[in-house]
Chains A and B, each alone.
Chain A
Amino acid sequence: MSVSAGRRFLLRLLTLLRSRRAEDNLAREIDAHLQLLADKFMAQGMTAGEARRAALRSFGNVAHHKDLTRDMWTFPSLDSIRQDIRYALRTLRRSPGFSVVAIGVLALGIAGNTAMFSLLDAVRLRALPYPDAEQLVVLWGNVMRTKLERRGASYPDFLDWRAQATTFDGMAAGDETRMTLSGRGDASRILVETVSASYFPLLRATPAIGRTFDANEDVVPEKIAVVVLSDAFWRRELGGDPQIVSQPLVLDARPYTVIGIMPPGFRGVGDRADAWIPFVMSNSAQGLAQRGSRGFQVLARLKSGMSRPQAQAEMDAISRRLEQAYPETNEKRGVEVAPLDEELLGEFRPALRALMIAVAFVLLIACANVANLLLARSEARQREIAVRTAMGAGWPRLLRQLVTESCVFTGIAAALGVGLAAVGLGLLLRTSPVTFPSFVHPHVDVRTASFTIALSFIVGTLLGLAPAMHSRVARLSDALKESARGSVGRRARFVRSALVMSEVSLAVLLLVGAALMIRTVQQLVAVDPGFDPDRVLTARVSIPRSASDPSSTGAAPLVVSARTLLDRVRALPGVTGASLVSDPPLSGLDSAVFYTAEGQGVSSAQTMPRAYVHRALPDFFTTMGIPIRYGRTFLDSELAPASGVVIASEQVVTRFWPGQDPIGKRIKLGPLASTNPWLTIVGVVREVKYRGLPENPTADPDLYFPFIDRSQQVSLVIRTATNPVGLIGSVRQVIREVDPGIPVFGVFTMSERIADQTAQSRFTTWVLAAFAAIALVLSAIGIYGVMSYLVAQRTREVGIRIALGATRRQIVRLIVGRGTLLVGSGIVAGAAASIALQGVMSRLLFQVSILDGATIAAIGVLAATGVLACYVPALRAARVDPLVALRAE
């Protein structure tokens, strides 16, 4: 027996770790032994020198025997495991084809699981970039209407919550707005979070330079214009100049003193802030005093040891007190305490969980395939195993060897799989239409690799057990007899058939899942948004006010009229129509109002009609392709502040005046008692998916008011003759020509905005389809393998049949029939299981049922693939030469 260099090295290492005592003991024992031998030789008459040499001769190479003895010192189990590993590697080398297929299939499955686990791990709770993130919650001001709806908070409510609540460590108001940065080259729009002073300590965020807001800057009437900058913005726009602190920065034509710079990576809860200003700067003192004006988020941190239900109970009590104190504004108003991580990452989780389950299925299929290969091989090894048993290898020892063997190659597969996962994950993220938050970095690391290692050992053990269970039945006498195949063979066939059936069932589940997702995406894309999104470009502009006379009360005039910009854009070649609107569809800029329809009586907080309002030029509807159902669009003469006209969407009519002519009916904003003027409906347009696809978040209708050329924030909607992307440059150009101080931003084609709405479903579909394709291929390989095995086993039988006059066609039918039975029963089981799928996937699906044509087609594809996989072995069987077959044994 030769000791390999590597093993010798390992032994040396182990020896180092052991006490010197064993080593000394051994030397002493061998010395004594040699002495005794020498004594004997001297007694026979040799000289001391001769006796010593003779003793050494008869003892043998001392160093070599010491080596072999040291071998025995290692923990016995460790030692034999090493032996098993060596043996396993040898077995793998002996059948390279088997090894490559088995390792390849497993590596694929493990890679998929590692990649998906990395994704899921990246959106776990601890992904939030804040210390003790599990204590962070968002407080939503909920309202009970026909169903519970989430709203923001109002400033007076927020102050009461903060004063009365005891379960929180801190509470901060926060909102997001865009502001124009000027005075430094071209004006640009930046994203600003308006936040309470407590916001930064709450998130445990400290500035890299300077300070954040103090309590003085958080008080309502004392408006102190200060700003904290994000690291990225500071480097991008200000060249990373630390001297900027205490210097002014002009935002929305007002100087703000820079007081601090946040560290890199801190982008605020919204994950995209360029800067932060005090919350009280976001509105006038009067605006902040309105308890009924709700719209911002409240961030809070639970006191350590406080649970969310405790906080919820306290907030419920506070809301009830506020409801009694201010019934006017707080009727049916509650507070929802929602975990922050769910708010930020929750949207990704259901899809990733579903994908994780899917990829686990893929791994199971891969395992079934490899188990089948192992089973086939273990049959070839029956005799070897039986002989080993006879030679005294115990049952546990054999089991351990089989498990070690399969662990060795799952180990190799895992190593390959981790590499594959790292590459695949990168590829997946690059091609993904879903953008993850900036602090989410899915990658393969120690955590995910340890997941993989654990996984591969579980898989290895299970795979090792399969052939072991089956060897157990083998009896020595049977195995040593050349032709004893009866009972063992039948049992093995059953196990293998069962494996293939489960493979097929799992593949059915995956294919049906993929088919459901594909149909979902088709349905989503086919959703009629209510307008025509093709060849439409939208762009937002923010027109600055001229800073000529800062002392005068009231707003200064705009530097240019939005109509002027529109005229320039209309004149561009390739533009077939253009219009102005306060907010384009799917832009997320909605604002809602309550209104009252004439003659409808008083309504409660739950039923008070609410609508989303937009201001538009007369040609907005034709430009966007929104059909007018009744009446007309605005007249140019109505584009004035108190024109008293409104255009409503169809729902207003169906709710209040069904079957009547709506033109000339009147509504007013606010409750019936309000002093707002009555507005006459001059037109009714089609209901539009203005705020979300496939459905608006709430079913409220839209109200359109005449566009007044006074607003700073305007959106251009431009219909073009060709691909609108080509016009983006020239639109920016003409606006810059009018005034370089007008920032153009939020430039999207309508198709892009729609694609954004379906991004996550498309991502899920894409990945799931890839998994399903792998599953299909793997199960085809599995079916093929089992049928080939079957044919090989039945060669003699087939030979006899042919000899007795069976035609080739009959033989093919026999084999394919058996395969079809296998595939068929797998499909039936899988189809039954996929009925449960619809429930599991319900959050991901849109308007599809399990009985969709696509799912049936998916099952058909699998059935066809399965039968095809049976055909090749069947044809091989049909070519059996009866003479050869009968001679074979």
Chain B
Amino acid sequence: MSSKDNTVELLQGTLDLIVLRALTTMGSLHAYALAERLAQVSDHPLSLNQGTLYPALVRLEQRGWIKGTWQKTANNRDAKFYSITKAGERALAKQTERWRRLSGLVDKLLLES
């Protein structure tokens, strides 16, 4: 993966967090909508080929944190829609808390000392 100066490289594990978060706020989404959503919310363009989502989706689905079903889109195309599960919500809460602690610590170490 090449990194350019103006892109933010995703830390491992954070993509999962972002996907879960998007699915809680937006309800069920297919991969394309999810990619568009991520591009929308980030001011910086994430160094994210849309295809990058797929491993994360499979991973999350295998953990039982999200669930995918085939449905029709608004303009009548077949797509797999993902929605967050109960376990996914619990995991999101836990991971978010963890992330807060770590980023707080990193902030402290980087900015204060």
- Quick one: which of A39, A391, A480 has the most chain B CB within 10 A? A391
Q: Are A391 and B55 in contact (CB under 8 A)?
A: no
Q: Are B77 and A36 in contact (CB under 8 A)?
A: yes
* Chain A interface bracket (under 10, 10 to 19, 20 to 34, 35 or more): 20 to 34
Separation of A526 and B51 alpha carbons in the complex (Å): 84
Separation of A39 and B13 alpha carbons in the complex (Å): 31
Known contacts A68-B54, A392-B98; A36/B73 CB under 8 A: yes
A28, A30, A64, A391: which contacts B12 (Cβ < 8 A)?
A391
A1, A59, A66, A76: which contacts B1 (Cβ < 8 A)?
A1
Check if A660 is an interface residue, CB within 8 A of chain B.
Answer: no
Known contacts A69-B54, A69-B55, A72-B55; A29/B49 CB under 8 A: no
**Chain A residues whose C-beta falls within 8 Å of the C-beta of B78 in the assembled complex:** 28, 32
Separation of A28 and B31 alpha carbons in the complex (Å): 12
Check if B58 is an interface residue, CB within 8 A of chain A.
Answer: yes
Q: Please, which residue of chain A has its CB at the minimum distance from the CB of B60?
A: A72
Interface residues in A21-52 by Cβ distance below 8 A to B read 25-26, 28-30, 32-33, 35-37, 39
Check if A806 is an interface residue, CB within 8 A of chain B.
Answer: no
Q: Are B79 and A65 in contact (CB under 8 A)?
A: no
**Chain A residues whose C-beta falls within 8 Å of the C-beta of B79 in the assembled complex:** 29, 32-33, 36
**Chain A residues whose C-beta falls within 8 Å of the C-beta of B52 in the assembled complex:** 60, 65, 68
**Chain B residues whose C-beta falls within 8 Å of the C-beta of A72 in the assembled complex:** 55, 58-59, 62
Check if B7 is an interface residue, CB within 8 A of chain A.
Answer: no
Separation of A640 and B98 alpha carbons in the complex (Å): 108
**Chain B residues whose C-beta falls within 8 Å of the C-beta of A480 in the assembled complex:** 109
Check if A73 is an interface residue, CB within 8 A of chain B.
Answer: yes
Check if A71 is an interface residue, CB within 8 A of chain B.
Answer: yes
Instruction: Tell me the minimal C-beta distance from A809 to chain B in angstroms.
Output: 44
Q: Are A61 and B51 in contact (CB under 8 A)?
A: yes
Separation of A37 and B33 alpha carbons in the complex (Å): 9
Q: Please, which residue of chain B has its CB at the minimum distance from the CB of A31?
A: B78
Known contacts A36-B73, A60-B51; A391/B13 CB under 8 A: yes
Q: Are B58 and A33 in contact (CB under 8 A)?
A: no
Q: Please, which residue of chain B has its CB at the minimum distance from the CB of A57?
A: B49
Separation of A65 and B54 alpha carbons in the complex (Å): 7
Separation of A555 and B31 alpha carbons in the complex (Å): 108
Interface residues in A55-88 by Cβ distance below 8 A to B read 58-62, 64-66, 68-69, 71-73, 76
Separation of A458 and B30 alpha carbons in the complex (Å): 46
Known contacts A65-B54, A69-B54, A392-B98; A33/B32 CB under 8 A: yes
Check if A840 is an interface residue, CB within 8 A of chain B.
Answer: no
Chain B interface residue count, Cβ-Cβ cutoff 8 angstroms = 29
Q: Are B55 and A68 in contact (CB under 8 A)?
A: yes
Instruction: Tell me the minimal C-beta distance from B52 to chain A in angstroms.
Output: 7
Separation of A69 and B55 alpha carbons in the complex (Å): 4
Q: Are B49 and A39 in contact (CB under 8 A)?
A: no
Q: Are A32 and B102 in contact (CB under 8 A)?
A: no
Check if A390 is an interface residue, CB within 8 A of chain B.
Answer: yes
**Chain A residues whose C-beta falls within 8 Å of the C-beta of B50 in the assembled complex:** 33, 37, 58-60
Instruction: Tell me the minimal C-beta distance from B39 to chain A in angstroms.
Output: 9
Q: Are B51 and A73 in contact (CB under 8 A)?
A: no
**Chain B residues whose C-beta falls within 8 Å of the C-beta of A392 in the assembled complex:** 13, 95, 98
Q: Are B31 and A33 in contact (CB under 8 A)?
A: yes
Q: Please, which residue of chain A has its CB at the minimum distance from the CB of B13?
A: A392
Q: Are B77 and A64 in contact (CB under 8 A)?
A: no
Instruction: Tell me the minimal C-beta distance from A82 to chain B in angstroms.
Output: 15
Known contacts A60-B50, A392-B13; A32/B77 CB under 8 A: yes
Separation of A58 and B59 alpha carbons in the complex (Å): 22
Known contacts A32-B30, A36-B32; A59/B55 CB under 8 A: no
Separation of A392 and B38 alpha carbons in the complex (Å): 22
Check if B80 is an interface residue, CB within 8 A of chain A.
Answer: yes
B59, B73, B80, B109: which contacts A29 (Cβ < 8 A)?
B80
Q: Are A64 and B54 in contact (CB under 8 A)?
A: no
**Chain A residues whose C-beta falls within 8 Å of the C-beta of B90 in the assembled complex:** none
**Chain A residues whose C-beta falls within 8 Å of the C-beta of B55 in the assembled complex:** 65, 68-69, 71-72
Known contacts A33-B31, A33-B32, A71-B55; A60/B13 CB under 8 A: no
**Chain B residues whose C-beta falls within 8 Å of the C-beta of A36 in the assembled complex:** 30, 32-33, 73, 77, 79
Q: Please, which residue of chain B has its CB at the minimum distance from the CB of A71?
A: B55
**Chain B residues whose C-beta falls within 8 Å of the C-beta of A73 in the assembled complex:** 58, 62
Q: Please, which residue of chain A has its CB at the minimum distance from the CB of B58?
A: A72
Check if B75 is an interface residue, CB within 8 A of chain A.
Answer: yes
Q: Please, which residue of chain B has its CB at the minimum distance from the CB of A29?
A: B80
Q: Are B95 and A32 in contact (CB under 8 A)?
A: no
Separation of A798 and B30 alpha carbons in the complex (Å): 66
Contact indicator per residue, chain A 485-501, by CB within 8 Å of chain B (1) or not (0): 00000000000000000
**Chain B residues whose C-beta falls within 8 Å of the C-beta of A66 in the assembled complex:** 54
Q: Please, which residue of chain A has its CB at the minimum distance from the CB of B98?
A: A392
**Chain A residues whose C-beta falls within 8 Å of the C-beta of B62 in the assembled complex:** 72-73, 76
**Chain A residues whose C-beta falls within 8 Å of the C-beta of B58 in the assembled complex:** 69, 72-73
**Chain A residues whose C-beta falls within 8 Å of the C-beta of B63 in the assembled complex:** 76
Separation of A29 and B34 alpha carbons in the complex (Å): 13
Instruction: Tell me the minimal C-beta distance from A614 to chain B in angstroms.
Output: 85
Q: Are B54 and A30 in contact (CB under 8 A)?
A: yes
Q: Are B32 and A60 in contact (CB under 8 A)?
A: no
Separation of A58 and B48 alpha carbons in the complex (Å): 9
Contact indicator per residue, chain B 35-78, by CB within 8 Å of chain A (1) or not (0): 00000000000000111101100110011000000000101011
**Chain B residues whose C-beta falls within 8 Å of the C-beta of A64 in the assembled complex:** 51
Instruction: Tell me the minimal C-beta distance from A287 to chain B in angstroms.
Output: 84
**Chain B residues whose C-beta falls within 8 Å of the C-beta of A37 in the assembled complex:** 32, 50
**Chain A residues whose C-beta falls within 8 Å of the C-beta of B75 in the assembled complex:** 39
Instruction: Tell me the minimal C-beta distance from A393 to chain B in angstroms.
Output: 9
Q: Which 5 A-B residue pairings sit nearest by Cβ, starting from the closest?
A: A60-B49, A65-B51, A72-B58, A60-B51, A36-B32
Residues of B in contact with A (beta carbons under 8 Å apart): 1, 11-13, 30-33, 49-52, 54-55, 58-59, 62-63, 73, 75, 77-80, 95, 98, 102, 105, 109
A to B CB contacts below 8 Å, 25 in the list: A26-B54, A28-B78, A30-B54, A32-B77, A32-B79, A32-B80, A33-B30, A33-B31, A33-B79, A36-B30, A37-B32, A39-B75, A39-B77, A59-B51, A61-B51, A62-B51, A65-B49, A65-B55, A69-B55, A72-B55, A72-B59, A72-B62, A76-B62, A390-B105, A392-B98
- Apart from A58-B50, A60-B51: 8 A-B pairs, beta carbons within 8 A: A29-B54, A30-B54, A32-B32, A32-B80, A36-B73, A59-B51, A72-B62, A390-B102
